Amino acid sequence: MTWPPAPALLARSLPGPSPLGGHLVLVTDDVRSRCLLVQQYRRAWLVPGCCPIHLLRDPLRSPERQPRSRSDRTNPVHRLKGPSSVRRAETWRSIEVQGGFVKATAVVSPDRLWSAREVLARPSPVPAVAGVYGWHFERAPHPALEADRLLYLGIAPRYMANRASTQSLRKRVRNHYRGNAAGSTLRLTLGCLLGLELRRVGSGKRMTFGKAGEAELSAWMAEHARVCWIESSEPWELEKQLISRLDLPLNLDQNNRNPFYGELKRLRADARARARELPVSA
């Protein structure tokens, strides 16, 4: 359930329960009357008492300019109920300082999502810059997953210490929609979840779903997969923060605590094992 903001009470609010911790988060310029604010918000929108509420100072305001009282010290977020308040507040503070909180909301609950037809059009709406992109699915690729939500997060470019990458959001997102499993981790994952047959191709080192399988996967993505993105000069840093805090069942890297991690890893390993037993496809 998403609770809208109470206009008279809040400057800004983020959809809840929050994807960054399973709690409702209120964003406001005024934290001096925070207890009264939360009580009024609960009554106005019938928010159950079992749903913890966090209060976050305006994330668009620099933390250095915010007044620091004796009660909040360096913590711009206040856990209003429950244990480990200081530890949780510091966790949220680290997101706010780097802008990750606002950017997480931009990929979890974006203003709009883009289809394959729109992304592959010329000119493409996807910017040719570095950033983070999120994939939402109107139909889940596996029975254990939910539909109509963010399932996968990716970045462009990857961090490369020795040379500059030519990848951009535009190149990466378009490649996911029209490429193949050898060049797209997302396509490899989706194909395995959908039961497509993985095959060795070319010299035998690359694995794809073959021409027919890749075409079927592209059609499925065009119908059910939607994408959004945010620009970031160092997307790998933002990716690390978001994966550690969001529920992203289709991500494997840095995400071994996710409940779906073991199942996805097994399905991909089984698909590769079967492909090695089959002859190389033309």
User: How far apart, in Å, are the Cα atoms of 50 and each of 24, 42, 91, 165, 220?
Assistant: 11, 11, 21, 47, 39
- Digit-coded pLDDT (tens) for 92-111: 333 333 344 556 778 888 88
The rounded distance, in Å, linking the Cα atoms of 261 and 144 is 12
User: pLDDT tier at 64 (50, 70, 90 boundaries)?
Assistant: very low
- Digit-coded pLDDT (tens) for 180-202: 999 999 999 999 999 999 999 99
Residue 54 has pLDDT above 60, yes or no: no
Highest average pLDDT, of 52-66, 182-196, 230-244, comes from 182-196
Share of the chain above pLDDT 70, in %: 62
User: pLDDT tier at 52 (50, 70, 90 boundaries)?
Assistant: low
**Mean pLDDT value of segment 13-20:** 39
Query: Cβ–Cβ contacts within 10 Å for residue 104, how many?
Result: 25
DSSP secondary structure string, 222-247? HHHEEEEEEE-SSHHHHHHHHHHHS-
- Which of 14-28, 40-54, 207-221, 259-273 has the least mean pLDDT? 14-28
